[in-house]
Every structure is written in C-alpha cells, then in structure tokens.
Structure 1
C-alpha cells in the first residue's frame, strides 16, 4: 500500500474533531467545577489540567500547524505541534496530527508512539485505529496491524475501508482465501464495489480458479448492465484464457446493439488476429480507430508497431491509413500527431515530420521527447535559426534539460553571436548531469571564449575536456589550430594535431590543421607532404590556400599562385583577407 496513507479530507475532519475535543474538555471542566462548588463551595482544579489560556494558545498553534501540514511543510508543522503537546498533553487530536507528520517524514516508529497515544485517549475513533494499523503495515508487522483493525471493527462497528485493509493484509501475508473472506464480508455489508471485485478476480486467477474469477465479473455485469466496460473486461478475461467462443458470444450482442463501439471492434480484431485472419483483423481495426472513443495504450502501441514495417509496402500503407483514420477521429490528439511525425521520420520526410511534431506540441507542449525530435530535425537540416527558436520555446517548459541549452548555445556560436552563446552554454553547464554532455559543453565554450578573445579561458576549457577525454578529436584539432594561430606552444600543438591525423588519416580538416601547425613551426617540407594530401581530397578553399602558402615558402611561386587562384574559385568564409594580394603580387602575406 502507498505510504501516502491519509487524505486531506481526513485531516480536515480531524481539525474539526480537535476543536470539538477542546470545547468538550472545557465544558467538562466547567461542569466539574460547578459540582464541586455546590458540594463544598471550594473550586478544585487538577494540576494535570491545562488552564483556559493554555488551551486557547494550543488551539491557535494547532490551526497554524495544520496549515503547515497541508502545505507539506512537515518539519515546521512538528515544531508547532510540539508546543501544542506541551500545552495540552491529553489532547488526542494533537497526538493524531503529530503522528501524521512523522508518518509523512517516514519516521514510522515515532509516528506510532503518537498514534497509539491518540488511540488510548479516544479508543472509539476509527481514524486512530487506521493510522496505527498503517504504521504497523509499513513496518512489516502485519499480525499487529490485523489485531488493531479487528479491534476497530469490534469497537466502532468497522467500515468498508477496514475490511479492505484486512483483506489486503492477508494477501501480503500469503493468505488469499482469508483475503477473499473479508472482501466478501465487506461486499455483503456495503454492496458491490468494482475495485474489490477486480481484486478478487486477480486472486482467483492466481489460485487457478478461472470460473470463480468469471463469476465475480458476472456480478458487475448484473449490477451495472448498461456499463459496457464490465462486459469488455469479461471478454478480455475469456480471451486471455483461450475461451474464444465464449468471448465472441459476449461480443455479438454488444456489436449488434452498438455497431460503432470502437472497443468492441478492437476486441473482435484481436480475435481475428489470434485466428490468423489478417484481412478481417485489419478491417476491424479500421472501424475501431474510426471511433471517437479515447484511444487506449494498446491501440497506440499498434499504431507505433507499424513503424517497424515501413520496408514492407503493404504494411506501410496500412499503418499510414490507420494513423490517418485515427487522426480524423481525434484531430486534436497530440500522441497521434506525434506518431504520424515518427512515421514521416521513418520515411526520411523530415520537413513533414517536423510539421506534425509541431502540431503535436501545440496540443501538448509538455512532451520533451517531441521537442527533441523537432530539434534533431532542425539540427540535421542545419537550420540554425529554427534550432534557436525551438530550443527557446522548449526551455520555457523544460528549463532543467541541459541538451536544450547545448542546442541553443551551439547554434548561437555558429551564427557568431558569441556573447549570447557563452551565456547559454554556461547556463546549461549548471544543470548538465551526463558527463559526456558536459565534455561537449566545455568544448563549445572553449571555441566561444576563443572567439571572444578570452584565450586563457578558452585553453582552460580545452584542458578540462582533455583531462576527462584525452582523445577528444574535436578539441585536439581546435586547440592545436588556435595555438598555431597565436604561435604558442607549437610543440604541444604539433603533438595534439598529429593525434587527430593518426585517428582519421583521410580527414582533410585534420590534415589541414596538422600541415598548418608544421608550416607555422617552419617545417615546410613536412607541411607540404601533409597539405598536399589534404588538397587532393578537399573541397575547402582554406585548405587549398594553405597548400599554396607552403609551396610559396618552398620557392614554388607559380604553383603557389595556381593554388591561391583555385582557393579563390572555391571560396569560403575562412579564406584570408590577403588572398587577392597574394595572387596579384605573387607574394605570401601573414
């Protein structure tokens, strides 16, 4: 059973009860005084009884204590209740409220002390019995809990909940027959209860007594003949136990009287599927999905299941048709819209998929998975503005999801909005939990700080990454390249860049960086060997320009100019500002 065992209604009831308790105590004391005055004309007050002032103060504090309890501020509530207990030590309502607080804090032994004391003070209050029993149950003392509940029934006459608790305790103790006995007693006293009937059905099924379980189901059908759900439950039970003929017999009159009942056709589809009649199965599914009845998880699973068969043209068409049928019946259902987005993704129709994901988010913006799908499409299509727009929107609903900051900050870095990128990436770093994602944040921050001319911070971030992931190729490449641009620590830059080429020897970017580091270090012959390999496989104007630079340094001026002209034709954002001068004057410029 849940540890959250007492309802707010019960708490409010106890507040009222406690006030009556206060008032009755005062009234009793007054009557007692009058009686003594009449006999001896001398007021007699027990030293154990609190004064009127103490009682009033306790009442005031108790109201505040209950307010704190309802606000889930249990520690604060206990502080106030401690004072109440000091002022009015014999008030059972205060003891009960104190027990509730300790129970909420999962201090069950302490809760039990106060619950028992409340019960001693008022042995006819059913709520006190229940609380004592609940604590025993949480502590695993089932026999003690049973004793208390049996005593409650003996003293207060019991209630439906008491019989239910006793039955559930017997279940936990491994005595299902005893559990059924008390479920039956409760049912006899208080009438049919579908929760109890379903619990008894589960017990009978566990005991292997299917007929008894079905008989329980029949009770609900007889008690509520117009409620189709009870009949459907019976059909499911029959189907689950291979009694198909009986299930069909139950379904036929339902579908005759309610021909558009979605759940009935869905169950009939299940029967056809089990019998291997795929065409009939599919036809019944179409009727079921066209119904305006809310879609169950089982139906959503069937729709999602078709995503696995997009390679099969027949299955693909069936899946799409079912989704569209369901969407026509439920045009505002966010889950169906998202499933149709998934379907479009499986066909690599990314724009269409994003359209349906965004429609789904209009209906239900609290679905983080769908936001991720939208952003992954934006990222895949390299639509940076869309990444920023959608990650901003997603952050309104999920401010603690680090990946949203990463998408946003990385996109702003790409757009050269360096200050905004730095803010966003640092915000994300505060909430990131995944160590691998933290590495990526620091790598991006390294690039951002470099672009902001904060070189020490940039290199510190790169070092932080390499401590955790010493073979992070992205950081090794950028770190070495930026060091070469600043002509700092070139031996370290050369070592790091060489590692990237060893890892990916056919990557033109890494070959270019390595060749450029060698060039800056004055190792022109080695640089030529590396850059010639990069130039042979690249489409980057920057790489070609670098190759021309090293040719010039080796005295091959005409070849250098030829490469510079080729670089200009290819173009690119990272070409040097002096490229035109190089070509015109046939001379290398820093």
Structure 2
C-alpha cells in the first residue's frame, strides 16, 4: 500500500499553527505516536537555511523616515571614504548605518568589503556571510565572500560559495569558470575537469576551456587526451596558427619528434615565415644530430622580425655560455649579424653582437658593435666599459682617451673610467693630468680593493715620472700591502729603485721573488739583472741577462748586457752589443756616446 510522504518541516509548521496546541488535553486513549519521518541530508540543509532566513527576516525592524534617511546618509559617506581608501572613517560611517539598519544586505556587504580591504578578514567573513543570507540572489555578495575565503586560503569554503552561487542565483553559470580555476589552484584536477565539462555543456566549446583542459590532462600525465584537446583547438580554429604551433611543441616536448615535425611543417604551410615553427624544427634537428638542418632553420627564424629581439637575445645568450667553442663560434657570429641587420634600431642587438665578437676574438668588430649600441642608447655603463677595455687591450691610446672622456661625462662616479683615463693620459705624455685622474679614481675606489691595487701601482709609475719618489714608493707599498705578488708593482718598484740606486736590498728581494715565480720572463729577468748590476754583482747580472736574451731581442736588454760585459772587462763584446742595440732601436739616449767613445756612460 502506498503512503504519501509529508516533509517533516511542513508537519512541524502545521502543528505549531494549531491554536492552543500546548494546552490541548491528551486523548483518553491515544494511539501510539507514529515513528518520525527521517529527513534526507538535502532536506536538513534546506530546513536550516530557511530557519536562518526566517530569523533574519524576523529581526527586520521598521525604520522611521528619519532613521532611514540617516542610515542612507551614513552609508553614502562610508562608500565615499572607501573610494578614498580611508578605511577607518569608512567603517565608522558604515557601522553607524548598520546600527540603524542591521538587516540591510547592502550595508553588511559594504562593511565586509571594507574590512577585507583593511585586512580584517574575520569581520569581513562574518558580515559577508550575513549579506548572502539576507539577499541570497545577489551574485556580488557571493563573490565577495568567496574572495574573502580565498584570501585566507580557505579554498574549500570558497568553492562551496561558488557552488551555492551557481545553484541559487539565476543565470550564474558563467561562474563555473571561476570555480574550475579555483579547483585548479588547489590541485583538484578531477573536480576542475568536471567543472569545465559542465561549463562546456552549458556554453558550448570554448578555446580557453579546451586549453585549460589540455593543461589538466598534461598534469595528469594523460598525453593522449591532451593531444585530443589540441586537435580540437586546431579543428575549430583552422586559421589560428598558434594552436598548430602549440601542438607541435607538445609533440616535441614529449619526444614524439616525427609528429612534431609534421605539425610544425603544417604550421609553415599556413604561415611560411613563422619563426616559432622554425625554432621547433631547429631544436628537433639538433636532437637528431642534424646540425646543418638545425642551423638552417634557426637562421631562417632569426631573419623574421616576428621573432622579437628579446627572444633572439635569449638564444644568443645560450650560445655565449658555450663560447669560445670552434664548433659554434661561426654560427653565433652569423646569428648576431642577422640580428643587427633585422633589428638595426635596437641597442641590445649590437650589444649582444659585441659580446659574441669579443668571445670569438674579433675585438675590433666588437668595439664597432658596442659603439653602435652606444649611439642608440648611451645610458649603459657596461657597454662603455667594454669599449674602454678593448681600447686598452688593442693599445689604442687616442681611442682610449677619447672614449673615457666621453664616458666620464655620463658616469663621473665610475672609478674604472678614471683609472683608464689616467692610464691614457700617462701614455699620451700628459703625466700631471694623468695623476689627477688616478688620484680622483682612487678616492672612488676605497671599497674596491682590486681596482685600488691597480690605481696605486699606476700612481707609483706616474709619481716616478715626475720624480716624486716618496709618493711613488708609498703607492707601490700600498699596492703590495694588499697584493704582495702583484707583478707590475714588484717589477716597476724594484727597477725604479735600481735606477735611483736606493733600497737595493729591498729591490733585490722583490725582483728575485718575481723571477722565482716567472723564471722565463725576459722583462723580469732584465729587472733582476739590473738590480744585481747596481749591487755590483756583475756575474749574477750576466747570467740573468743571458737567460733573458734567449727569448727577447729588446734593445734595452741588449744594451744592459753590453754594460755588464764592459764591467766584466769584455769591452769589445760590450761595444758589439751596444751597436746591436742601436741598430734594433729603442736603446737609451747614451747609446751613441757609448759607441763613439767605447766607454760606459750611466
């Protein structure tokens, strides 16, 4: 026999509606009470929800016209202060509006929003929950509550809010996308996938949904499904080559190279100049050990302006990391040349070309590239520094002086520029100006000990030139205090002391230390020999010079050898060495007198 099932909450309402229910006498012989009906979970939730709404509605107070106007006034002022981001004043006004009208959904919503903006998430949650209960058909209230939960990383609660919104508010299906994204952020991929599929049933196929489903399938290691989504994107967007490219990349990244080649070539049929397709093919051919094919494709990609300069720079940086490498150097140079031709108004194109040319030992070309970069953008100190370093390396003093002067106009606080400017002035026989530049650079280098050593060493040379020997010695001592093995300081200091005939024991110690470190360096051997000469150790000087002469044909070394031979009584041999030194060129200004008089002059 069938029985009609009456919901429990309806029975309860009927019972409560009976007049004098509590005072009714019991029936004389009442039948046993019927067993209560068991509610489903959904019915229990609905009962609780309706009870909350009934309570809220019962609390609604009838406002006087004056209270209504005051509440609205406080509300408007509060909103104004929210817009001005003065949240304390905003809450002060909004709470006054709330005191007058606590069951107004809009007021609760605005208080919740203001608390969220000011970082009070607990109160924001409470007021947002009330706003939703008071007006369960307003989508904005749900969205705010979901945002508040998400801000507290309560993603499950936020998802429940979205679910309620979609279920209870008409025409809210498009929030399925928000819910799916929330699931993805939580790593709930199955739930996200199901939500996206629900959205597709409601709104039809969407490119963005297909793309996100593809990402989910990839995270689930379901390559076949991901590829199917890719094919769907291509089929539904036949003119969109980007989806073809994405499919080729997906094949390539999963080592399905023949398929990747097929799809990349399909992209090139649609867009013959597409650089991304070329780059995919270049990478595949590289993996297949086909360097010629790979190089061809990457050069074709670089010829396209559609491959932007930043991407080309990134690729060239990968080449730079592998240089110098004879197998890659020429390709890197050619790609750099293409880049500067295609992007002739981009400073970074010439800058990266200069870096590659420097590493492949094309210094002159590198400097030209850097100077072109500077003409397009002179604000990069590093590029100026590269120009100056190449000038110094090529020993082109005029260029070094010109470029450091120009660079110092832009970067007057860069100590390295003052150092190289001082060196250039010294080499250009402008010693006084060189000393000023070096001294200024020294003041800027107090926190850079390595540069300070170089400046002190150079100042030692400079002060020697102007015969300020005490300053010269102090500069060398300062350099050696930090770097006791500084070769230039050890060599020049000991040599200048020998020329002055001062502190010869110290000079011998320093030059001897240097020869011990570099026993075959003819310059250091010559310095050591001259210190020994000044100490009248002519035999020791002879040994050192003869060793030096095995690797050099320098006129100064030869002249020194002649001087030593003269002191040892071998005057004819001495004269022959002096004559040889004069013939080579570069001997001292005493060489002619020595030869003419067959006599030693010092």
**TM over 0.5, shorter chain:** yes
Is 1:386 aligned to residue 399 of structure 2?
Answer: yes
Matches within 5 A, 1:293-372: 293-295=306-308, 297=311, 301=315, 329-332=342-345, 337=350, 348-363=361-376
2:182 paired residue number? 166
Is 1:521 aligned to residue 535 of structure 2?
Answer: yes
What secondary structure, in the 3-state scheme, does the structure 1 residue paired with 2:519 have? coil
How far 1:228 moved relative to its partner?
1.9
**Preserved CA contact (<8 Å) 1:528 1:551:** yes
Shift in CA distance, 226/521, structure 1 to aligned 2, threshold 3 Å? same
1:212 paired residue number? 225
Shift in CA distance, 416/161, structure 1 to aligned 2, threshold 3 Å? farther
* Superimposed CA distance per residue, residues 420-446 of structure 1 (whole angstroms, 9 cap, x where no aligned partner): 465357537746877655543443343
1:491 paired residue number? 505
Cα distance in structure 2, aligned partners of 1:190 and 1:394: 62
Cα distance in structure 1, aligned partners of 2:203 and 2:213: 16
Shift in CA distance, 165/209, structure 1 to aligned 2, threshold 3 Å? closer
How far 1:515 moved relative to its partner?
2.0
2:5 paired residue number? none
Shift in CA distance, 317/535, structure 1 to aligned 2, threshold 3 Å? closer
How far 1:526 moved relative to its partner?
3.3
**Preserved CA contact (<8 Å) 1:477 1:497:** yes
**Preserved CA contact (<8 Å) 2:275 2:302:** yes
How far 1:491 moved relative to its partner?
1.5
2:272 paired residue number? 259
Cα distance in structure 1, aligned partners of 2:343 and 2:223: 37
Cα distance in structure 2, aligned partners of 1:457 and 1:588: 31
* Superimposed CA distance per residue, residues 205-235 of structure 1 (whole angstroms, 9 cap, x where no aligned partner): 2321113333444565467554322321111
How far 1:475 moved relative to its partner?
1.8
**Preserved CA contact (<8 Å) 2:217 2:225:** yes
Answer with 488-497 or 271-280: which moved more: 271-280
What secondary structure, in the 3-state scheme, does the structure 2 residue paired with 1:208 have? coil
Shift in CA distance, 441/317, structure 1 to aligned 2, threshold 3 Å? closer
* Superimposed CA distance per residue, residues 372-422 of structure 1 (whole angstroms, 9 cap, x where no aligned partner): 654554333221222344455566777787655554444344334443465
Cα distance in structure 1, aligned partners of 2:446 and 2:147: 44
In structure 2, the gaps of 5 or more residues are 1-64, 96-115, 132-140
Answer with 431-440 or 405-414: which moved more: 431-440
How far 1:500 moved relative to its partner?
1.2
* Superimposed CA distance per residue, residues 152-192 of structure 1 (whole angstroms, 9 cap, x where no aligned partner): 99799997997587346414xxx444565677789999999
Cα distance in structure 1, aligned partners of 2:418 and 2:281: 49
* Superimposed CA distance per residue, residues 65-114 of structure 1 (whole angstroms, 9 cap, x where no aligned partner): x8xxxxxxxxxxxxxx9xx96x8884899xxxxxxxxxxxxxxxxx9984
How far 1:502 moved relative to its partner?
1.5
Matches within 5 A, 1:128-147: 142=153, 144=154, 147=157
Cα distance in structure 2, aligned partners of 1:386 and 1:393: 11
**Preserved CA contact (<8 Å) 2:267 2:277:** yes
Is 1:232 aligned to residue 245 of structure 2?
Answer: yes
Alignment partner of 2:544 out of 530, 540, 543: 530
1:473 paired residue number? 487
RMSD: 5.4
TM-score, with structure 1 as normaliser: 0.63
Shift in CA distance, 550/131, structure 1 to aligned 2, threshold 3 Å? farther
Higher radius of gyration, 1 or 2: 2
Cα distance in structure 2, aligned partners of 1:564 and 1:426: 43
Matches within 5 A, 1:6-155: 90=92, 114-116=119-121, 119=124, 123=128, 142=153, 144=154, 147=157
Cα distance in structure 2, aligned partners of 1:395 and 1:478: 29
Aligned length: 493
Is 1:570 aligned to residue 584 of structure 2?
Answer: yes
Cα distance in structure 2, aligned partners of 1:373 and 1:167: 52
What secondary structure, in the 3-state scheme, does the structure 2 residue paired with 1:355 have? helix
Shift in CA distance, 584/244, structure 1 to aligned 2, threshold 3 Å? closer
Alignment partner of 1:482 out of 475, 496, 499: 496
What secondary structure, in the 3-state scheme, does the structure 2 residue paired with 1:506 have? coil
How far 1:507 moved relative to its partner?
1.9
Is 1:545 aligned to residue 559 of structure 2?
Answer: yes
Shift in CA distance, 562/264, structure 1 to aligned 2, threshold 3 Å? closer
Cα distance in structure 1, aligned partners of 2:202 and 2:400: 63
How far 1:479 moved relative to its partner?
1.9
Cα distance in structure 1, aligned partners of 2:211 and 2:267: 22
**Preserved CA contact (<8 Å) 1:484 1:516:** yes
2:521 paired residue number? 507
Shift in CA distance, 355/552, structure 1 to aligned 2, threshold 3 Å? same
